Amino acid sequence: MGNIIKVDFSGRWSQSLDQLIERHINEETFPGIEVLFAQGPEILLHKTWGRQEVGSDKPMGLNTVFDIASLTKPVVTTSLIMLLQEQGMLDLEEPVATFLPEFGNEAKSKITLRHLLTHTSGLPAWANLYEDSDSFEVARQRLMDISQEVPLDKRVIYSCLNFLLLGQIITEVTHSSLSRFFQHSIREPLSLENTLFSPAKHWKNLSGIAPTQYCPWRKCLLRGVVHDENCYFFGEEAGNAGLFSTALDLHRFCCMLLNEGSLDGITILSPSSVQQIVSNQNQPPLGTRGLGWDFKDVVPGYWSCGFLFPPGAIGHTGFTGTSIWFDPLNQWIAIVLTNRVHLSRDGNLAAMHQFRPRLHNLLLSMV
């Protein structure tokens, strides 16, 4: 990395940032937000706006714990799959049916772990596995029975089902729960102190956790319990969602990737694994994807990281209102955490879609 750039987040730029965020708070895109912007280990901006929840004067505090939703896919599931490959326990080119025999019938027998990681399996984006299932076993069998929407390698379909399958593969290979293997392999070595699955099961004081939505199915406001219903039915720790974390912990995780898999003398992944993760895996005309991460293409179009993050930037978003984007070349890291779904499951999606690139453009405009 080159020299750390000192940025003055003040004056007219700061006013523009405040105006953008406060407008979206007033328009109920989210109740509050935490933004961390860094260059590698150097944090340039770390600030919150708004409130933690509706009907409370409690401000959104620094280092609030968020349900990070689909950020679980790259942070947990992708990292653990790559670690298992390094350990010789699986290979990305192996069929899913090698590990989940009940999955691999007919055309699905050719779906590999790489197809799941790059969303080229042809499986649909989502399926309701939890309603009308009277047990985990029934829901799991529904997952195994899912049919492809399109043939292999014909289209990128971003699919939660791909990562539910990867989560099942991890538990089969390790004979361990996803949370236990993540804790042993990533959380504890990296000292991610506030990153875990199912905090409501482990913490007595949940006041530092941003609530998500009132769930009609579970008939309660969710705080410290995963928002994603399929994940909840899979024991709150499926490969598609379930992780809770903070901006500072996610910053440490990104620094590990930007430092070729190591941080503070601790190696999590090999440099070659990290290089694969942050490289485009899909050939045209397929959309670009890293392994488990989105990969910004040179092709113009909508990107949640905005226009100013360069091609080759790596990122992911979460349905609850979260995102990570980082630039391996310049080492910019932008972590944006909200509990958007606390206000509405779907009613503010369009506003969030608009907000994300505008925010990232503002952040990058100062460097």
The pLDDT tens digits for 6-54 are 566 677 889 999 999 999 999 999 999 999 999 999 999 999 999 999 9
Q: In the listed set 157, 174, 191, which residue is the last one of a domain according to the structure?
A: 174
The per-residue pLDDT for range 355-365, each reduced to its tens digit, is 999 999 999 99
Same domain, 198 and 238: yes
In this structure, the answer to whether residues 288 and 329 fall within a common structural domain is yes
- Note whether 210 and 64 are within 8 A (CB): yes
pLDDT one-digit tens code per residue, 293-314: 999 999 889 999 999 999 999 9
Residue 239 near residue 163 (C-beta atoms within 8 A): yes
Q: Which domain holds residue 230?
A: 11-72+178-364
In a domain, 130, yes or no: yes
State the CATH number of the domain containing residue 186: 3.40.710.10
Q: Would residue 28 count as lying in a domain?
A: yes
4 in a structural domain: no
SS3 state at 21: helix
Q: Say if residue 48 is in the same domain as residue 154.
A: no
pLDDT of residue 3: 44
> CA 126 to CA 107: how far, in whole Å?
19
Q: What is the DSSP string of 236-301?
A: T--SSS-EEE-HHHHHHHHHHHHTTTEETTEESS-HHHHHHHTS----TTSPPB-SSSEE--SS-S
pLDDT of residue 276: 98
Residue 110 sits in the same domain as residue 259: no
Residue 2, in any domain of the structure: no
For strands 262-263 and 266-267, give the pairing.
antiparallel
134 & 41 share domain: no
Instruction: Point out the domain boundary residue: 147, 174, 201.
Output: 174
Is residue 3 a part of any domain in this protein? no
The secondary structure element, H or E, covering residue 82 is helix 79-86
DSSP class of residue 107 equals: G
Query: Strand pairing partners for 66?
Result: 245
* Among 155, 174, 193, residue at a domain's last position: 174
Whether residues 204 and 160 share a domain: the answer is no
Instruction: Work out how many domains the chain is built from and give that number.
Output: 2
Q: What is the predicted pLDDT for the residue at 104?
A: 82
Could you read off the pLDDT of 173-204 as tens digits, one per residue? 999 999 999 999 999 999 999 999 999 999 99
Whether 90 and 51 share a structural domain: no
Domain contains 116 = yes
| Beta-carbon contacts of residue 266 (< 8 Å; ≥ 6 apart) | 189, 190
Any domain includes 159? yes
Looking at residue 4, what is its pLDDT? 47
Question: Pairing state of beta strands 42-50 and 294-295?
Answer: unpaired
Question: Looking at the domain assignment, is residue 119 inside a domain?
Answer: yes
Residue 211 sits in the same domain as residue 132: no
pLDDT score of 5 more than 80: no
Distance CA 251, CA 331 (A): 11
Please confirm whether the linkage preceding 285 is cis (ω < 30° from 0): yes
CA atoms within 13 A on the CB side of 304: 24
Q: Residue 120: which CATH number? A: 1.20.58
Euclidean distance between CA atoms 333 and 64, whole angstroms? 18
Nearest Cα to Cα of residue 39 among 365, 334, 362: 334
pLDDT band at 215 (very low <50, low <70, confident <90, very high): very high
